Amino acid sequence: MTEPLRAHHEISFRYRHSVGGAKARFLAGLRDARILASVGADGRVTVPPVDWDPETGTPTTELVPVGDRGIVASWTWDGPTGKAVALVRPVGADTCMVHVVDVADETALRTGMVVRADWRAERTGSITDIRAFVPCDSLVPAAAAGVAAEPPGDLAVVSETCLSYTFEPGLVLSDFLRTLANRRIAGGRCVSCDGVYVPPRPKCPDCMVGPMQPVPVSEQGIITAFTVVHVPFHGMEVDLPFVCAWIRLAGASVSFAHLLGGVSPADVTVGQRVEAVWATDTEPSWESIRWFRPIAEGTP
Ligand SMILES: [Zn+2]
């Protein structure tokens, strides 16, 4: 038995979006070290503020400051960061806001505990202007009256979310990918129902019997379904529009998804015969098959 493959992946979700309305005024308020809330038609005070009353849909033009102290309404402990994520209800508000509560450990947390905002010295108009909520002894009256000045036009929410991880596909799929790198496609036959799966699975999804028996399958097959993609995505290496198709190889019982190349989307049909076009790069991966292309009419 060989070692499983490992691959490093990174998913980034980086964006910047400008804000307006109640959200912009809320962020401007944070910059001024105050928490602003909106007042609905029934007098309900909502934090963070909203532009429209959630019950009646009427505009909520009035923003009021609420306290920067409050109580923890509920919480969950986030082990990896060593902090709690909590719903905090500020004094004067009828709703809660989500934020971090910074305590030494989980045992210091309880529902109903009193906390205060720990403001950063340098604030930019971001939810992180509150470093965290921290425990304190008593609630105090709401912050000083007065509403923050109109926010500058350059307030924005900036996301730098990035998820970095290592993927290990398992022994069965690793062997399949290594075989692909040698320009052969290996299916797995269920010894119970005779179904042939490409890629092979550790056990037959129908019978739950395994391991499956390795069996070579053709690099030719038919299109069982397809979609034409018009929307670009990060890291895309093909021109738009392109076709993503479900392909069932000769000898296989199930289809898998792959790219189609060398064909105009208008000329693709379900039932069309296609064949694998191999990549020159032979690192074990699905991309060892560059794409599938239609087989010319009359080819046996
Ligand atoms: Zn089976």
Higher pLDDT, 299 or 152: 299
Strands of 45-46's sheet in order across? 45-46, 35-39, 63-66
Give which of 182, 175, 176, 172 is closest to 279, Cα–Cα: 182
Tokens of 260: 């189609």
Q: Residue 155: its pLDDT value, please? A: 72
Q: Residue 142: its pLDDT value, please? A: 46
**190-227, pLDDT tens digit by residue?**
999 999 999 999 999 999 998 999 999 999 999 999 99
Give distance in angstroms: CA of 292 to centre of ligand 1: 27
Give which of 279, 97, 86 is closest to 180, Cα–Cα: 279
Give distance in angstroms: CA of 222 to centre of ligand 1: 22
Give distance in angstroms: CA of 260 to centre of ligand 1: 29
Contacts of 235 (CB under 8 A, 6+ apart): none
Give distance in angstroms: CA of 205 to centre of ligand 1: 7
**95-121, pLDDT tens digit by residue?**
999 999 999 999 999 999 999 999 999
Q: Residue 122: its pLDDT value, please? A: 93
Give distance in angstroms: CA of 197 to centre of ligand 1: 9
Could you tell me what percent of the chain has a pLDDT over 70? 94
Q: Residue 150: its pLDDT value, please? A: 58
Residue 151 pLDDT class (50, 70, 90 cuts):
low
Give distance in angstroms: CA of 212 to centre of ligand 1: 9
Q: Residue 153: its pLDDT value, please? A: 61
Cis peptide before 216 (omega within 30 of 0): no
Higher pLDDT, 54 or 231: 231
Residue 19 pLDDT class (50, 70, 90 cuts):
confident
**257-296, pLDDT tens digit by residue?**
999 998 999 999 999 999 999 998 778 888 899 999 999 8
**Residue 178 above 90 pLDDT?**
yes
Residue 145 pLDDT class (50, 70, 90 cuts):
very low
For the chain, the domains span 20-154, 170-294
Q: Residue 224: its pLDDT value, please? A: 97
Rounded mean pLDDT of 233-252?
Answer: 88
Q: Residue 46: its pLDDT value, please? A: 95
Give distance in angstroms: CA of 209 to centre of ligand 1: 6
Higher pLDDT, 108 or 151: 108
**44-79, pLDDT tens digit by residue?**
999 999 999 878 888 887 899 999 999 999 999 988
Give distance in angstroms: CA of 213 to centre of ligand 1: 11
pTM of the model: 0.60
Give distance in angstroms: CA of 269 to centre of ligand 1: 30
Tokens of 160: 């730098």
Looking at every residue in the chain, the average pLDDT score rounds to 89
Give which of 105, 113, 51 is closest to 88, Cα–Cα: 113
Report d(CA 56, CA 95) in Å as an integer. Answer: 17
